[in-house]
Amino acid sequence: QVQLVESGGDSVQTGGSLRLSCAASGYGNSRFTMGWFRQAPGKEREGVAGIYMNGVVLAYADSVKGRFTISRDSAKNTVYLQMNNLKPEDTAMYFCAARQALLYSTSALSRTNYDNWGQGTQVTVSS
C-alpha cells in the first residue's frame, strides 16, 4: 500500500523560504513520478512541479519557475520542494502525489495523471 506523508508547511512573510518534504512508502523501486500540487481556497488544485525518481525534473508551473526547486532523495524515497521568495499568492494547501510511471514533461503537472496523494501541508505567506 502506497503512503505519502508531507511535512514542512508553515506561515512565513513575503520573501521568505520553506522546504516541503514528502516521504513515499510502498514503492519497491524508484520507477515512479512524484509531483507537488497546491490548492488555494475556492480554486482548483494546480500542479507546481514534477520529478521522476531517478532525478529527472519534469516540469515547473510558470508561476514558480526561478523560485521553487524540486529534488529527491531516492534512497529515502523522499521528494522536496524548496520554495524561495515566497509571495502571498503562494498561500495554499500543498499536496504531493505519485504515480508508478514516467510522466513526460507537463503531464507531470496534471492531477488526473496521479493515483496516490498525501494529506497536504499548509503554506501561508503574509504580506
Provide φ and ψ at 14, rounded to 5°. Answer: -50, 135
The residues, ordered by sequence, that sit 6+ positions from 21 with a Cβ below 8 Å of its Cβ are 6, 7, 8, 78, 79, 80
Above pLDDT 90, what percent of the chain?
Answer: 90
The number of CA neighbours under 13 Å toward the Cβ of 53 is 23
With cell 496521479, the residue in question is: 114
Task: Report the pLDDT value the prediction gives residue 17, as an integer from 0 to 100.
Answer: 98
Cell numbers at 91, concatenated: 498561500
* Model confidence pLDDT, tens digit, residues 57-89: 999 999 999 999 999 998 999 999 999 999 999
pLDDT surpassing 80 at residue 30 = no
